Amino acid sequence: MKDRKTTHFGYQEVPVEEKAGRVADVFHSVAARYDVMNDLMSGGIHRLWKRFTIELSGARPGQTILDIAGGTGDLTARFSRIVGPKGQVVLADINESMLRVGRDRLLDRGIAGNVVPVQADAQYLPFPDNTFDCITIAFGLRNVTDKDLALRSMLRVLKPGGRLLVLEFSKPQSRLLEKVYDQYSFRLLPFMGKLVANDADSYRYLAESIRMHPDQETLKQMMVDAGFVDCEFHNMTGGIVALHKGLKP
Amino acid sequence: MTDPTFRAGFDAALETAINTALKYDPGTRARLQRLDGKALELNLTAPPLQFCLCIEGDQVRVRGHWEGEVSTRLTGSAIAFVRLLRDPAATPAQLDVSVSGSSALLAELQSIMRDLDIDWEAPFAQLVGDMPAHTVGNLLRDASRWLSGNLRRAPRAAAEAVSEEWRLTPPQAQFEAFVEDLADLSLATERLEARVQLLKARLRASGENFSRRGAE
């Protein structure tokens, strides 16, 4: 029997072709209560992480921005205001449920005209080369099956000089914080998931997928290997989250 | 280096406070709108902090990191900035604040800050209703007027208590009369001294004449 190539899905090893489907199931399940859970899980701090991401994006009126794994549209909403009517923000997500929630939420807030929702896989972005001034992917890269492929795809669609910002959970920089964070992630998080979204498994997967995600230095090297230059990262909240930045040469 | 989370939290709190206050001052919002797109960079020396106030429509955005064009850049202490924006007589040079870029934006912001008229009663009315908010508002306004009046009168009242009640210092009128008498006395002494000098000179001259005649 021929060996099948596998990848991780949280702490499980699954065939590569199954991961996207399994991740999709998780996000179909959490989409409706995604925002409530984000606020609850992070104590609202995810808004500050995103605020810093927006600042480092250096977005300007008239620019074209791609918000990959844009989910419920937090970053897209802010970018839409910054780029103005002459710019454009593409809200991309592989998951139809998340995209629908995001699109509806943006429309409910009166954000339209310069926002285009697109269902897209980060590994195979359906855009021409050199299209975007800036690409952001917030809390999405760890769910991508082949991260190297996704990074190369992002590099392709970025304009020369354009920047990629990867906001993602990472490795806490202190032992004590790591222990507290482990207890929180593996005990409290699934419990809250069960209580609020009636879905402990999805939130257990989120905690496991965070642990399996490359740490700060590894991800930075992956970006360099993909072809980005001037790569750097900023640890936030003691390294629980890191913002990586790289430019297309 | 400060964790960007704390910094973003500070910026977000400051931005919310500014824009919430502006919500209750439509006049200032309208004036701010005319400055849409301008950015004021503040480099605080004490406490050491740098941020940019970007005007977007009738809102103010606080950014710890700003790569866009800066219209005016100010460097100085936090207290100096507050005085510069609130005190009509204050100038950057007096307060040791350095300014680069457009001074027109600074002048306009100074004018806006001086005319700031926030209706604090409005947010309170949304919580408790118009009548209670108006009653509490009147009480607070009366208290504020009483306090500011007393603060204005306090130095004079304290001076009167020290001199009139406790007699620790002479009353001002008595002190001024004493100073005047002292000045007169000083002048009279100087005149007397001059007169004595004159008399001495005359005596010396007449003594010399007498000696010359005796020798002849």
Q: What is the pLDDT of residues B3-43, one digit of tens each?
A: 899 999 999 999 998 888 888 888 888 888 888 889 999 99
Closest-CA residue of chain B to A44: B9
Query: For residue B128, is pLDDT > 70?
Result: yes
From A47, A60, A236, residue closest to B4, measured CB to CB: A236
Query: For residue A83, is pLDDT > 70?
Result: yes
Q: Tokens 């399940």 belong to which residue? A: A29
Residues facing residue B42 across a β-bridge: B51, B74
Nearest to B54 by CA among B40, B35, B75: B40
- pLDDT level of residue A27 (50, 70, 90 thresholds): low
In terms of pLDDT, which residue wins out, A105 or B123?
A105
Nearest to A143 by CA among A121, A162, A126: A121
Taking residues A20-42, report their average pLDDT: 70
Highest mean pLDDT among B54-68, B80-94, B125-139, B147-161: B54-68
CB of A54 within 8 Å of any CB in chain B?
no
Answer whether A52's CB lies under 8 Å from B8's CB: yes
CB of A237 within 8 Å of any CB in chain B?
yes
From B12, B65, B66, residue closest to A48, measured CB to CB: B12
- Count A/B contacts: CB-CB distance under 8 Å: 36
Kindly report the nearest CA distance between residue B6 and chain A, in angstroms. Answer: 8
pLDDT at A41: 75
One-letter identity of residue A160: P
Nearest to A64 by CA among A144, A153, A157: A157
Q: What are B's interface residues with A at a Cβ cutoff of 8 A?
A: 3-5, 7-9, 11-12, 56, 63-68
Query: For residue A28, is pLDDT > 70?
Result: no
Query: For residue A30, is pLDDT > 70?
Result: no
Cα angle B101, B107, B109 (rounded to 5 degrees) comes to 100
pLDDT at A185: 80
Highest mean pLDDT among A79-88, A205-214, B138-147: A79-88
Tokens coding B2: 């400060």
Cβ-based neighbour number of residue B201 at 10 Å = 10
Greatest distance between any 2 Cα atoms in chain B? 116
Look over chain B and give the mean of its residue pLDDT values, rounded to a whole number: 86
Kindly report the nearest CA distance between residue A61 and chain B, in angstroms. Answer: 10
Residues of A in contact with B4 (CB under 8 A): 52, 234, 236, 243
From B4, B7, B67, residue closest to A58, measured CB to CB: B67
Closest-CA residue of chain B to A55: B65
What b-and-e string marks burial along A87-97, b requiring 16 or more CB atoms within 10 Å of the CB? bbbbbbbbbeb
Query: Tell me, what's the ipTM?
Result: 0.77
In terms of pLDDT, which residue wins out, A28 or B142?
B142
A116-169 tens-digit pLDDT:
999 999 999 999 999 999 999 998 898 888 999 999 999 999 999 999 999 998
CB of A179 within 8 Å of any CB in chain B?
no
A165-198 tens-digit pLDDT:
999 989 998 889 888 888 888 778 778 777 776 7
Residues of B in contact with A55 (CB under 8 A): 8, 63-66
How far is the C-alpha of A130 from the C-alpha of A145, rounded, in Å? 24
DSSP structural state of residue B130: H
Q: Lowest mean pLDDT: which of A3-7, A58-62, B183-187?
A: A3-7
Residues of A in contact with B64 (CB under 8 A): 52, 55
Q: Directed axis angle between helix A189-197 and helix A200-212, to 10°? A: 140
From B9, B63, B67, residue closest to A48, measured CB to CB: B9
- Give the HSE-up count for residue B49: Cα atoms under 13 Å, Cβ half-sphere: 17
